[in-house]
Amino acid sequence: MPELVFFSGTMDCGKSTLALQIEHNRSARGLAGMIFTRNDRAGAGKLSSRLGLVTDAVEVADAQDLYVYIVDHLSQGGRIDYVIADEAQFLAPVQIDQLARVVDDLGVDVFAFGITTDFRSKLFPGSQRLVELADRVEVLQVEALCWCGARATHNARTVGGEMVVEGAQVVVGDVNQAAGEVGYEVLCRRHHRRRMTAAAARAAALSPDVLPVSSS
Ligand SMILES: Nc1ncnc2c1ncn2[C@@H]1O[C@H](COP(=O)(O)OP(=O)(O)O)[C@@H](O)[C@H]1O
Ligand SMILES: Cc1cn([C@H]2C[C@H](O)[C@@H](COP(=O)(O)O)O2)c(=O)[nH]c1=O
């Protein structure tokens, strides 16, 4: 039975790596995939992982109909055995509906990969639609960790290591950015709620306010 599967997690938990592995294993057995992406850090039309692997992909445009794109490809004699959609949080909800239609009407598996929530811990519209429509939502097994060692469940946006909570929902970026730049850091819920990034925790540990009080 073909499925729409949503592989979700925080940033930096291995989603794109898994997408590339699924692509590799299937294409190695002669299956043909259609790979979609949007706003990958490596540039337009790329699906990249931090492990250094990268493959070409179709860069999805704002109003592009993914169902029509696939039907056009098939009607021109192309073959598609499965679809991969990376950075799926950036797809519009209607495009997720089109992917569900690919599964139901064309009998093709669709594997979507993306972060569920943004830097304010609000659902991305595309991810919300995936949670609503997917046959399965899979949480990746390799845990990304908060600086405290707990499982990271939330994405923080940082400027100079400090967490910010205002701004546009979409700002392409990466974890481990140089000080001063806009970046991201994965945190557990407790530290996301307290806006306690690794840099903030280090600063607090060095502050005289938290040093033990002398008994003399
Ligand atoms: N130098 C490295 N050695 C081993 N694993 C690494 C290295 N750099 C990154 N990784 C792994 O890659 C993961 C990020 O993979 P990636 O597919 O880019 O994540 P995502 O798409 O979820 O943001 C990290 O969680 C880590 O497990
Ligand atoms: C939290 C958050 C992230 N983004 C961007 C930052 C990256 O470009 C991607 C996530 O990519 P990854 O492969 O999962 O690391 O999303 C954003 O635009 N807005 C956010 O709130």
> Do residues 185 and 107 share a domain?
no
Among the candidates 125, 142, 159, a domain finishes at 142
> Do residues 136 and 151 share a domain?
no
Q: Quick check: CB of 17 below 6 Å from ligand 1?
A: yes
Question: For the stretch 11-21, what's the b/e string if a residue is b when 16 or more beta carbons lie within 10 angstroms of its beta carbon?
Answer: bbbbbbbbbbe
Query: Which ligand has the minimum distance to the alpha carbon of residue 163?
Result: 2
Distance (angstroms) between ligand 1 centre and the Cα of 71 equals 34
Tell the residue nearest (CA) to atom 5 of ligand 1.
Answer: 51
Structural domain span for residue 102: 1-142
Tell the residue nearest (CA) to atom 3 of ligand 2.
Answer: 118
Q: Which of 46, 51, 90, 111 for mutating ligand 1's site (highest number of atoms within 8 Å of CB)?
A: 51
The CA–CA distances, whole Å, from 74 to 108, 152, 153 equal 12, 41, 39
Question: For the stretch 156-182, what's the b/e string if a residue is b when 16 or more beta carbons lie within 10 angstroms of its beta carbon?
Answer: bbbeebebeeeeeeeeeeebebeeeee
The CA–CA distances, whole Å, from 49 to 20, 26, 30, 88, 140 equal 8, 18, 23, 15, 15
Asked if residue 59 lies in contact with residue 37, where contact means CB atoms within 8 angstroms, the answer is yes
> Do residues 78 and 126 share a domain?
yes
Q: Quick check: CB of 49 below 6 Å from ligand 1?
A: yes
> Do residues 37 and 120 share a domain?
yes
Q: What is the count of structural domains for the chain?
A: 2
- Answer whether residue 213 is part of any domain: no
| Residues known to be catalytic | 87
> Do residues 54 and 160 share a domain?
no
- Answer whether residue 35 is part of any domain: yes
> Do residues 136 and 148 share a domain?
no
Q: Residue 191 burial (CB < 10 Å; 0-12/13-18/19+)?
A: buried
> Do residues 176 and 187 share a domain?
yes
> Do residues 48 and 135 share a domain?
yes
- Answer whether residue 215 is part of any domain: no
Q: What is the ipTM of this complex?
A: 0.98
CA distance 97 to 192: 31
Q: Each residue of 162-212: pLDDT tens digit?
A: 899 999 999 999 998 877 789 999 999 999 999 999 999 998 888 766 555
CA distance 9 to 88: 12
pLDDT at 155: 98
Tell the residue nearest (CA) to atom 4 of ligand 1.
Answer: 51
Q: Quick check: CB of 10 below 6 Å from ligand 1?
A: no
105: left (phi over 0), alpha (psi -120 to 50) or beta: alpha
- Answer whether residue 109 is part of any domain: yes
CATH code at 90?
Answer: 3.40.50.300
Among the candidates 124, 142, 160, a domain finishes at 142
| Share of residues in the chain with pLDDT > 90 (%) | 87
Query: Which ligand has the minimum distance to the alpha carbon of residue 126?
Result: 2
Q: Which residues of the chain have pLDDT under 50?
A: none
pLDDT at 64: 98
Q: Quick check: CB of 19 below 6 Å from ligand 1?
A: no
